[in-house]
Structure 1
Amino acid sequence: MDYVTAPALYLAARRAGLQGPPLRWANVFVALILLAVTTTRTPLGVVRVVPFQWHGRAELASVAVQFALPWLAGFARERRARSFFLAFATYNFLVWWATDWEAEG
């Protein structure tokens, strides 16, 4: 999923018209997603050093950050950016929830 999510997030942020800090934060998450998926011990991992369960814990922590980010980063009054990150966090939470994090990578 992450190999699809990263480019989709990159494109969606631009399609949504994000600019300034919200766009920079979206780019940070694109990079973090790619870093996580390429370093996790899964068949599609490139440098398999991160246990799959740790990836899941980091994913859940990132969901919390994504939900809070509009307020933490000061762009909560920008409706489009706030909605974008709340939708992104919801999507990531649903993916996290649907994933068997106890499975072997």
Structure 2
Amino acid sequence: MRNLWGRRGHALVDYVTAPALYLLSRCTGLSAAPQRWSDTFVLLILLAVTTTRTPLGVVRVVPFRWHGRLELASVVVQLALPWLCGFSRERRAHHFFVGFAVYNFLVWRATDWSARK
């Protein structure tokens, strides 16, 4: 897969992902625990994108490559979350988090983490 975007592009994707995830989780009809985890990821995405050294960062303190490493780690957590938190048998929640992990991995993979802009 070719890198599709650098710092600015990735930040734009994150700024779109957070509200989309918020709305999608509500449309999906998740139960209480998976909904709280989804909301946590919405907040973490917003925290990450606003504090990362990108042209769209608000408080640019986190190096872009660290953002990438943390994002990849979050993919692993998203995949494991249904089993770690006991909602793996909830079909909607299970598919929601596995789908979110796949999406997040594709975004991570499409990003040029060594980009200057």
State the TM-score, normalized to the length of structure 1.
0.98
Name the residue aligned to 1:95: 107
| CA-to-aligned-CA distance 1:21-80 (integer Å, 9 cap, x gap) | 000000000000000000000000000000000000000000000000000011000001
User: Paired residue for 1:78, among 90, 93, 103?
Assistant: 90
Name the residue aligned to 1:2: 14
Q: Which of the pair has the greater relative contact order for Cα pairs under 8 Å at 6+ separation?
A: 2
1:65 is aligned to 2:77 = yes
Unpaired runs of at least 5, structure 1 = none
Shift of 1:103: 1.1
Unpaired runs of at least 5, structure 2 = 1-12
Shift of 1:104: 2.3
Runs ≥4 residues deviating over 4 A: none
> How many correspondences in the alignment?
105
Identity of aligned residues (%): 73
Aligned CA-pair RMSD? 0.6
CA distance in 1, matches of 2:36, 2:93: 11
